[in-house]
Structure 1
Amino acid sequence: MLDVTIEHDVPATMRDGVILRADVYRPTTGGPWPVLLTRLPYGKNTPMIAAMLGAVGIARHGFLVVVQDTRGRFASDGEWEPWTFEMEDGYDTVRWAAALQGSNGSVGMFGASYFGNTQWMAALAKPPELKAISPRVTWSEPEDGLFARGGAAELGITVPWSLMQGVDILLRRHANDPMAQGQALMTLIGDLDAVANTAYWELPAGHHPVFERHGIPELGFERSRREPEWSASCRVAGRQAEVDLPSLHTGGWYDIFCQGTLDNFTAMRAAGRPAKLIMGPWSHIGTMGYLGDVNFGTAASTELMGFRGRLADLELGWFRQWLAPDADDDAPQPELPPVLLFVMGINQWREEQQWPLVRAVDTDLFLRAGDRLAFDAPEVGEGTGAFTYDPADPVPTTGGALLMSNEFLPGPVDQARVEARPDVLVYTSDPLAENLEVTGRIKAYLTAATDAPTTDWVVRLCDVDTQGISRNIVDGIVRAVATPGEFTGQVIDLWSTSYVFRAGHRIRVHVTSSNFPRWDRNLNTGEPIEQGTRSRPARQEIAHHATQPSRIVLPVIPAPAEGQ
């Protein structure tokens, strides 16, 4: 292991003259070294961020590590606008980092979430020195998980994320007036601490009073409505083929950007780029093998990876292959398979050659009369299920692939309090005679009607164990414009999973119209989200008979033949 020196707040001048600052970690002997760069808005010296990045440990393994505060954040100059400058600043920073003393001229980028996206934006700008990227838990289409989902605002992340980023803004804004600074921070933190009971509920959701109250930028939902073209500043979807680089994609089944990770990998493979995928039983920040109510086992953690070693070490071995292939390596890492999946339910890692799995068979499960869920189609006259959705009393967010304030835990969680509500239709299968593996993307197809001009449809897939405990696996939402009283087809994308329903367990599906505050409430009035403050209840119906079926489609993996 090498000794390391650290140089703090090293300036890099962007094309418009704005100075961004980075900490640079250099091995003290040998070299030249490949460069690993990350660009983030959360403070490069924040203890939690520093511990997560592990820059000293990476440098001791023979990399020159650069950790930069993005524009307008912490040590860097300029104005903070989420996403807007990351492509140009990413390009300029890669070129600057490649020329640092001790660099071998090859740069890789690493990091998660926002700083997974800064990798993509830099890669799309095509700096010649950038040789590989390793984005973790990041999105593809911002309208599918970052700003919105199925047309509904991702309120759960938008409000607390924007308030947290506001702290540095207020520190800068009132730097010369300690009294005003303290008061502004106290007010903002008060809103942040009470977000579950106050700010999440404020209206209009599409022009949120809390952002105006503090004068801070929001995550991007509101701006993307005012300036649709601006969303391109953080959109990866449709552009992956422009990136001619190897990529390592890491995600979690209960991460808010689960599907984005899968979509980015799939697009890179389709474009013929060298790409690898790792999907664990993780949330956005929870990677230790215990999530929600479920212990997936120590081997599920990023520290063990099914006895393959630490994820961080696997990533470094992959980077070395692309940034310094001729370098001596005292501890070479095993070659990663194209796809490494954690299959929940049986709690095992499994190597695959592609995603999605070509052997998956789309299999219908029908919503039937009597709250049944069955593989056989409904018969004539099975009628409808009905409930009343009241935006003043929405179904509370209970687990899932989410990133919210601390009151709302991600992952698989007991759904008893959700299933006890009168505004949730619950359909349950018979106990399974044998294990059933579902690996891939899941969609629901409802035949639905409402008496409102617009409403939401939410579908959730659950596993009911032999003790009768129901836990969520995936869910989704669609915001629908409706002709009151008319049955129409609604498609709800529940995203993807890899899960084995064990023999003796039952499959369960929820149908409802809210999941709040994960997604903003549809007020059922038809008012624009930027203006809506009035709400009304809506009478909802789900058809489940032969001529108007409703179903969920599962990608079922056939059991291997005996002897295989």
Structure 2
Amino acid sequence: MLEYSLYQSGIHCADIIFKDDCIEHIKKDVFSNKWLEKTILKSKDITKYEEIYKINLKDLNSKLDEFNKIFNIEKFQVETPWGALYQKSEINNNIWCERNKKFPLDIVLVENEVVGFIVTTREVCNVLVKKGYEDYTPLKLWKEKEVSNPQYAVEFKGTFMVPMRDGVKLATDVWLPRNINKKIPTIFVRTPYGKKLFSQAHFKYVQRGYAVVIQDTRGREDSEGKWIPMHFEIEDGDDSINWIVSNDWSDKKVGMIGASYGGYVQWASAASGNKHLKALVSIVTAGGPFIDMPRKGGTLASGMLAWAFAMAEKRFKPENMIRDDWDEILKIRPLKDITKKALNTDVSFWNYWLKHDEYDEFWSKSNWFKHKNKIKVPAMVVSGWFDDNGMGTTEALDIVKEYEKGNKKVFLGPWMHSANTTRDIHGVGFGNNAVRYDLDYYYLAWFDKHLKNIDNGIEKEKEVEYYTLGDNRWREAENWLPKEVKLKNLYLSSSGNANKSDIDGKLIFEKVQAENHDTYVYDPENPAPHLIDLSENEVGVPDNYINVEKRSDVLVYSTDKLKEDITIAGDIHVEFFASSSARDTDWIVRLTDVDEDGNSIKLVDGVLRAKFRNSFDKIELLKPNRIEKYIIRTSKIGNTFRKGHKIRLTITSSADNFIFPNSNTGNDSSTDTEVVKATQKIYHGGKYTSLIKLPVL
């Protein structure tokens, strides 16, 4: 028999007793604040708690003895008999880090005995530990720091239909600390995925003396109104906050937390200028429609289809994202017929997206960034280099960079949209320190500071913590961009010939005098791939693009092998001159890190539809073969190009799976069924100064 205590975000919520023939469970009832009787977990209960704790209890029970044998050694790396790979943490010798897995099960080893396990999600650090060994785990942080005490039982006050200014009512759940006899601050969550999915994960705030209010956004789940993604969130957020502070339990201070769409609604609420909104915890937030999704760079993001399918009905259906026929679906034309043919239904918001090709009043209504002068709310911003909503965080960072010290805290890690949940993405590995155990502590500390005025010192810390790939280290800065960054130009050059069959182009640090150009033909019926799995609903992930770069429709520009390390931290700006034989086309730029073996690992990319080269609110079709200048700002990155590696830029006109291929006709993309091939030329040298602006540290 082995007994462990289960903690979530520093709160002791259960005891797990592993026996040879069963698993016993003692749970603390959050509604009474009392421990329940011991029960034997049945199969359905094990499955339920595995989803809550992100720990496979049945599997763990069968392997506990084996774990002690495996880790009773002095090695850096171990492969288990069941194929799991573990490496010893470089930071803490007591921790072994699982590799090649989402939600890794990390091991805590003390004196050659396995005493605990750690699993992180975007918002929770789960710790399963033997009694007496808590200080060897992330629980030590919660004990050492000043945080709100988890002393209250949770009370559900009911679901309220809260009226918006136009009369539409939104379903809103209210959870309060039981028997608290003072006015308290509120943590507010707005979601299109169903408020019931999020309630239990936020009880930890109620236990620590906060009101928690969770709301279905307009047109979703139990709320009234029409569902148009991101369309009503500024006004609805404002009205909902005003309703919260009208309650007699409210001290009129509101904070918000959430990821992705749950990040977007925070910035939309802040854009209303509501004076009661005092703190944001923005995690992988979505941004403006043409900077981020769904009209990224003026294109239409096919990578959004999985999400759109899951949101096609009033209730969230994640099972709609899992398909094996995405290749066929992406080829359906015209685009307006995709949902009819793939889902046998007409999806109204998909039709709105297609109807509004340029940035107009429809899109302006969902653009919180245009109200940046109204946004003053202290904000914690969390994202990753491979977050497919990364440009939303870029907009958030552009706002908070002007904030006074203490009003912003930023974490930028080597993460995809499902942040802080893996050390390896699509075969690309990062350091064992890539996963952090302290994010949920910082979320609470941020609220404690800005909603309860608890003196926890968070405002005295460095305001930005970011991770550089290559050397796999966390760095600190006072702002983003780091003040140590200097822009350095890398200029495009070529071998002197204009055919892909010749030697690839060059990137050099000296300005190129000789004018030249490189040519390729883009065929919309044979688009270059963007290496993702659409069912994963992660479109910003890294991968090895070496084979994609061998295509004739991809131009490749590389430095020589570097003679010393170069570290960059910031956004990449690519400026280039190009012509096309078509009336419209797309440009896709990609920066990669090429190792000694030739593997070309994607760091960042950026896209731009040519007809929006001057402005997203005005279509300007191309004059065929006329040379134009283009500027593309990519997502942000921190990376050390190691000595012997190469810096590489590729330019092409398609990214299949990521964006729908441009037909090159200049016709309405929603109804177009024609395609034409386009001859594309990239100019450089002399008066055509095509370059990359690298933010060198």
TM-score by length of 1: 0.85
Match of 1:503 among 643, 653, 658: 643
Deviation string for 1:305-355 (max 9, x for gaps)?
Answer: xxxx2x1220111111111115xx8x8868542222122221211111122
Match of 2:678 among 538, 541, 547: 538
Q: Give secondary structure in 1 for the equivalent of 2:185.
A: strand
1:352 partnered with 2:459: no
- Corresponding residue for 1:444? 574
- Corresponding residue for 2:313? 167
* TM-superposed deviation, 1:553: 1.8
1:261 partnered with 2:389: no
1:215 partnered with 2:355: no
CA contact under 8 A between 1:132 and 1:319: conserved in structure 2? yes
Equivalent-residue separation in structure 1 for 2:220 and 2:557 (angstroms): 49
**Structure 1 residues 335 and 318, CA, compared in 2 at 3 Å: closer, same or farther?**
farther
- Corresponding residue for 1:235? 367
1:482 partnered with 2:622: yes
Q: Letter of the aligned partner of 2:608 in structure 1?
A: V
- Corresponding residue for 2:589? 459
CA contact under 8 A between 1:202 and 1:208: conserved in structure 2? yes
Equivalent-residue separation in structure 1 for 2:324 and 2:558 (angstroms): 37
Q: Give secondary structure in 2 for the equivalent of 1:270.
A: coil
**Structure 1 residues 407 and 263, CA, compared in 2 at 3 Å: closer, same or farther?**
closer
- Corresponding residue for 1:34? 185
1:398 partnered with 2:510: no
CA contact under 8 A between 2:272 and 2:374: conserved in structure 1? no
- Corresponding residue for 1:295? 429
* TM-superposed deviation, 1:408: 6.2
Equivalent residue runs for 1:367-378 within 5 Å: 367-370=492-495, 371=504, 372-378=506-512
* TM-superposed deviation, 1:525: 1.5
Equivalent-residue separation in structure 1 for 2:631 and 2:449 (angstroms): 43
- Corresponding residue for 1:24? 174
* TM-superposed deviation, 1:445: 1.9
**Structure 1 residues 208 and 144, CA, compared in 2 at 3 Å: closer, same or farther?**
farther
User: How large is the Cα RMSD of the aligned pairs?
Assistant: 2.8
- Corresponding residue for 2:270? 123
Identity fraction in percent: 30
- Corresponding residue for 2:93? none
* TM-superposed deviation, 1:358: 3.3
1:145 partnered with 2:296: no
* TM-superposed deviation, 1:215: 2.2
- Corresponding residue for 2:326? 196
Deviation string for 1:411-455 (max 9, x for gaps)?
Answer: 221112211212111222111111101112211122222222222
Equivalent-residue separation in structure 1 for 2:159 and 2:275 (angstroms): 25
Equivalent-residue separation in structure 2 for 1:411 and 1:272 (angstroms): 33
Q: Give secondary structure in 2 for the equivalent of 1:387.
A: strand
**Structure 1 residues 223 and 41, CA, compared in 2 at 3 Å: closer, same or farther?**
farther
Equivalent-residue separation in structure 1 for 2:401 and 2:626 (angstroms): 42
CA contact under 8 A between 1:196 and 1:407: conserved in structure 2? no
Larger radius of gyration, structure 1 or 2?
2
CA contact under 8 A between 1:265 and 1:275: conserved in structure 2? no
Structure 1 window deviating more from structure 2 (208-217 vs 449-458): it is: 208-217
Q: Letter of the aligned partner of 1:317 in structure 2?
A: A
Equivalent-residue separation in structure 2 for 1:494 and 1:406 (angstroms): 22
- Corresponding residue for 2:279? 132
TM-score by length of 2: 0.69
CA contact under 8 A between 1:155 and 1:200: conserved in structure 2? yes
Q: Give secondary structure in 1 for the equivalent of 2:448.
A: helix
CA contact under 8 A between 1:384 and 1:544: conserved in structure 2? yes
CA contact under 8 A between 1:139 and 1:236: conserved in structure 2? no
CA contact under 8 A between 1:361 and 1:556: conserved in structure 2? yes
Equivalent-residue separation in structure 2 for 1:216 and 1:390 (angstroms): 29
Q: Give secondary structure in 2 for the equivalent of 1:282.
A: strand
Equivalent-residue separation in structure 1 for 2:538 and 2:463 (angstroms): 34
Aligned residues: 522
Q: Give secondary structure in 1 for the equivalent of 2:415.
A: coil
Q: Give secondary structure in 2 for the equivalent of 1:214.
A: coil
Deviation string for 1:489-512 (max 9, x for gaps)?
Answer: 222222321111111111111111
Equivalent residue runs for 1:40-189 within 5 Å: 40-46=191-197, 49=198, 54-100=201-247, 102-157=249-304, 159-168=305-314
Q: Letter of the aligned partner of 2:383 in structure 1?
A: G
Gaps of 5+ in 2: 1-149, 496-503, 611-620
Gaps of 5+ in 1: 172-184, 558-564
- Corresponding residue for 1:520? 660
Structure 1 window deviating more from structure 2 (6-15 vs 252-261): it is: 6-15
* TM-superposed deviation, 1:554: 0.9
